[in-house]
Every structure is written in structure tokens, then in C-alpha cells.
Amino acid sequence: MNEHATLTEPPRPRLPLELLLLICDECETQSTLAALCRIWRGFKAPVERRLYRNVDLVGRSMATILSWCRTLRRHPRLPKLVHSLRIQLPHAIKISPEDASKIAPALVSCVNLKVLRFLREEADRQSGTDWVLEMCSFRLTEFACSYLDSFRIKKVLAKQPELRFLRVVGGPRLELLSLEAEPWGPRPELPNLVGIKGPASFFGHPHNRPLQRIEIALSYSCWIPPLEKYAGTLTTLNILLPASNAVSTGETLDSISKILPCLVHLAIVEEQLWLFPHKRQWESLPCLEAFTRLKTLSLIYRDDSMGFNSDKRQAFSGGSARDGGVVREVLGCCLEACLSLRRMTIGTEAERGVERMYTSRRSSGGTEIETTTYGYIDFEAISMFWV
């Protein structure tokens, strides 16, 4: 052997980035991702993409938020990886100038941000401020905000031509009218806006926006805003009922069928109650005759006394929603009565913390109905708002 020969380390295989990303996706904790980087430096880029693509800072301390901001400043490549951000900040008057000088540049540097949930502290009811968002150049597709009042939200939205979904969360009282007319400034065009989530008051003065999807949180009065003005474009409607029994799910369903008979997807969801109401009246079978295009229907009941009255027309004897057999029979009756319906879900909470969700689907041929039962209620999993 030549005495001048040297042993060299064999080159390590180059794995495709797609494979490395799949490996990172299987990791459930940040510590596991950090361990991958220590094992092989080739994991650094995919781990960073995994950690910084979707960032959730809601409920985190200001120290944690500032640490994240400093990291973005030190590593200029990282802000470009941020696709989705959820952040909760105190009111501007509670943020020191020094902290603001760190937060603002961090948000501005996230130039590729598409999904933003920008929230105030829950106890903060003062008008918001645009001290950050006015400076940002990102183009959002989804925006949830509780930080802006009527004047400021128009200025921010005017810079978001790609926005598809807007969610108005607690905070200053806003109305859809706030996005339309003076004296709050020019009307944001929002040419791609298709869906809005917000309280009923926000939709009190509907205007000429061709909305396709709406989710409304009703107040305790259960007043339904004039949604019929969207009848020409609206396909998906979610209604969140407050924790009271002022209006039943069946009454709400009847009201909607009269003004929006062409809906494709409808959900009526009762919010969780601290205390169950007493002696609630049983409801009739859901009446779907007025709907002409309905494909999915979701009804979530949260009441220990909930039940369905008998219906001779459909040979239904009635019964308590505690009985899974009764719920399955209700689903079958509805699918038989509404031929356009492809999927129907009924959720029940007959006892505190005891949830059930029953989903019936019509087979591709339309001749058979299959029902699946779940031991929990997950409305977001069945909501058609984002589909």
C-alpha cells in the first residue's frame, strides 16, 4: 500500500428534500426535530421549514413572542418560511416602545405570510390600532382579527387583493357596512373574498359582495340578519346558536329554508352550555322540503332533554336523542325525504361531557345509506366552510 495514500470519509447520500420533509412531518415534538438536526446537518433546512411554516403564539408570554422576533431578525431566511401565524398581543398602550421595535419588524419581514390570526387580549375592549399591519406587504388569503376598528380595518383590507376568507373576532363593534361606505375611507375591492365569519351584527347591513360562504354567531336574541340578499351566490351557511334555548334548532332551520332554499351546505350548531336548560320541547323531524340543492346538513344539539316528536308521514315513532337508534332513524328519514342530500350529521350531548356524533352518507349509487358513530363532536372536521 502506498504510504502516502489517505483514507477519506465516503460521501454521505443526498436524500431528496421531499423525503426529509416527510420524515420531519412524522415528528410530533420540537425536541425530536432538534435531535434530527444533531444527527445530520442535512435535516436543518427541512426542520426549519417544519417549525416556521405554521407559528402559533396565541396565549404565549411576551417573552416568548419577543424571543421569536429576535430569532427572525438574526436569521433573515426564516421569516420567508412563515406561511401561517397566530399571534395575540396586548393593547398598543401596554407595549413598550422597545418591545414594539422588535415586534413590528418581525411581522413586516414575513413577506410570504398567507394566513394571519391577529388577536388582542381577551379582556381588552378598547379600539385597536394599525401600528403593525399598516407597514406589512404580505398578501393574505385568510385573515382573522380582533384588533381593528372600522376605520383601520378598511385601510388594512385595501392592501389585501388576494384575501378569500375574513373572520371578525370579538373587539370593537364592526359591521359589513364598515367595509363599504364613507366616512371610513375608500371601499376595499377584495375581488377574491368568498367567505366571512363573524357575529350577526356584522351582517346587519349586507351589501353587494358576492359571498359564497358565511358563518354567523347569533346573539342571545337569536336574530338572523337579512341574508336573503346573498341568495344568488351563497352556497354554505354555518349558524352558531348561543347557549340558550330562546330559539330551537328546528325553528332556525325553518327560517333559513324560507330565505335561502338554494343552499348546498348548511350547519346549525348549538354552543356548549354551562348549565343545561330544563324541560326543553322536543322537536319535529327536520323539514327539508324547501331546499332544492342541499347536499350536506349538520345539526348539533346540546341538551339533556332533547328528543324528536313522532311523524306519521314517515312512520317515525319519535324518541329521545339519548337513544342512538332514534338518531339513526332521524338521519334515515331526512335522507329519504331530501333526495339531493348526500351527507347528514347529528351531534348530541345528552349528558355533560358525553358527546356523540352520527354521520350518515348516501352511497354513490344513492341506494344505500351508511352511518358512522363517533364518541366526540368535532364540528370543524365536518364544516364545509373551508372546502
- Residues 231-259 have a mean pLDDT of 88
Q: What is the DSSP string of 282-294?
A: PBPPP--TT-SS-
- Which set of grid coordinates corresponds to residue 221? 336574541
The CATH number of 58-193 is which of 3.40.1350, 3.30.70, 3.40.1360, 3.80.10?
3.80.10
Give dist(CA 248, CA 321) in Å, integer: 15
- Residues 241-256 have a mean pLDDT of 81
pLDDT of residue 179: 73
User: CA angle at residue 219 from 231 to 250, to 5 degrees?
Assistant: 60
Looking up cell 311523524 gives 311
For 138-169, letters b (16+ CB in 10 Å) and e give bebebbbbbbbbbebbbbbbeebeebbbbebb
Looking up cell 366526540 gives 376
User: CA angle at residue 136 from 87 to 161, to 5 degrees?
Assistant: 100
End-to-end CA distance of the chain: 68
Give dist(CA 178, CA 348) in Å, integer: 37
Side chain identity, residue 37: C
More confident residue, 334 or 200: 334
pLDDT of residue 152: 74
Q: What is the pTM of this model?
A: 0.85
Report phi then psi at 141, rounded to 5: -105, -25
Domain ranges of the chain: 17-52, 58-193, 214-387
Q: Is the dihedral of CA 88, 109, 155, 190 positive or negative?
A: negative
30-39 vs 17-25: helix crossing angle, rounded to 10: 140
Least confident span in 71-85, 273-287, 323-337, 342-356: 273-287
Taking 3-state DSSP, the helix, strand and coil percentages for the chain, each rounded to the nearest 5, stand at 30, 20, 50
User: Would you place residue 165 in the very low, low, confident or very high pLDDT band (cuts 50, 70, 90)?
Assistant: very high
Write out pLDDT tens, residues 179-188: 765 665 677 8
Give dist(CA 189, CA 244) in Å, integer: 38
In this structure, the chain runs to a length of 387
Give dist(CA 204, CA 382) in Å, integer: 27
Give dist(CA 36, CA 25) in Å, integer: 12
> Are residues 180 and 187 in contact, defined by beta-carbon separation less than 8 angstroms?
yes
Nearest C-alpha neighbor of 263 from the set 235, 239, 240: 235
User: CA angle at residue 332 from 271 to 239, to 5 degrees?
Assistant: 25
Say which DSSP state 312 is in: G
More confident residue, 116 or 145: 116
pLDDT for 376 beyond 90? yes
Write out pLDDT tens, residues 69-94: 999 999 999 999 999 999 998 877 78
More confident residue, 1 or 120: 120
Task: Give the best-scoring range by mean pLDDT among 20-29, 111-120, 148-157.
Answer: 111-120
Alpha-helical (H) ranges within 15-75 are 17-25, 30-39, 44-53, 62-74
Question: Three-state DSSP class for 102?
Answer: helix
For 327-356, letters b (16+ CB in 10 Å) and e give bbbbbbbbbebbeebbbbbbbbbbeeeebb
Write out pLDDT tens, residues 7-54: 555 555 566 666 666 666 666 666 666 666 666 666 666 667 777 888
